[in-house]
Amino acid sequence: MCFPTPLVVLGLQHKADRGPKDTTRNIHRDGEFVIHMVDEALASAMNDCAVDFPSGESEATAAGLATLPSVDVRVPRLAAAPFALECRRSVALTFGPGRELLVGEVLRVHARAGLLDEANMYVDLATYRPIGRLFGNLYSYQRESFAMDRESHSQWTARVRAGNGVDETPKES
């Protein structure tokens, strides 16, 4: 783990009746949670876990997902998740009825074997094959990536003065 402790931010929506979902209620009660990163193989099960199950019914159990004990939090983690982040709640910000942001500290990261180069902290994206949520019911595959060098202000100024514009297309990696 690096210092300072990594942070995550969750956007939490309440149910249509504006009551909190189990996840939100559990985080507020226990102060702990696990974030599971999803790959293409888990996408369907992730969607099943989004069904509006009755309060107290385990989405993981209903979707047939096995759990493992976590190390630093009491909340179990999904055995099949490519990455599981054990977290502790730091702060929650409420934005009107039914919407809030929650900031958590990452206490421990579990990675499936072969996905993480621990020496350099690089993720093998080709093996991981993550999916990303766009909005509503839309998701995206993350099969293509590109890199952009971050310049210092002096490098940027020199490039722009030399006639290399601001609107250049990113280089493919």
Residues 12 and 99: beta-carbon distance below 8 Å? yes
At the fourth CATH level, the homologous superfamily of domain 7-164 is Electron Transport, Fmn-binding Protein; Chain A (2.30.110.10)
Residue 145: predicted pLDDT: 85
Could you report the per-residue pLDDT of 38-79, keeping only the tens digit for each? Answer: 999 999 999 999 888 888 899 999 999 999 999 999 999 999
The candidate with the shortest Cα–Cα distance to 92, out of 12, 149, 150, is: 12
pLDDT at 170 over 80: no
Beta strand pairing call for 146-147 and 171-172: antiparallel
pLDDT at 80 over 90: yes
Residue 92: predicted pLDDT: 92
Calpha distance 62→50 (Å, rounded) = 11
Could you report the per-residue pLDDT of 100-153, keeping only the tens digit for each? Answer: 999 999 999 999 999 999 888 899 999 999 998 888 899 999 988 888 889 999
Residue 172: predicted pLDDT: 54
Residue 135: predicted pLDDT: 85
Instruction: Report the amino acid identity of residue 110.
Output: H
Calpha distance 138→94 (Å, rounded) = 25
* Stronger pLDDT, 168 or 130, i.e. the higher one: 130
The Cβ of residue 26 has, within 10 Å, a number of other Cβ atoms equal to: 14
Give mean pLDDT, residues 83-106. 93
Q: Residue 129: left (phi > 0), alpha (psi -120 to 50), or beta?
A: left
pLDDT at 173 over 60: no
pLDDT at 81 over 70: yes
Indicate the domain borders of the chain. Answer: 7-164
* Stronger pLDDT, 68 or 19, i.e. the higher one: 68
Model confidence at 163, in pLDDT bands (50, 70, 90)? confident
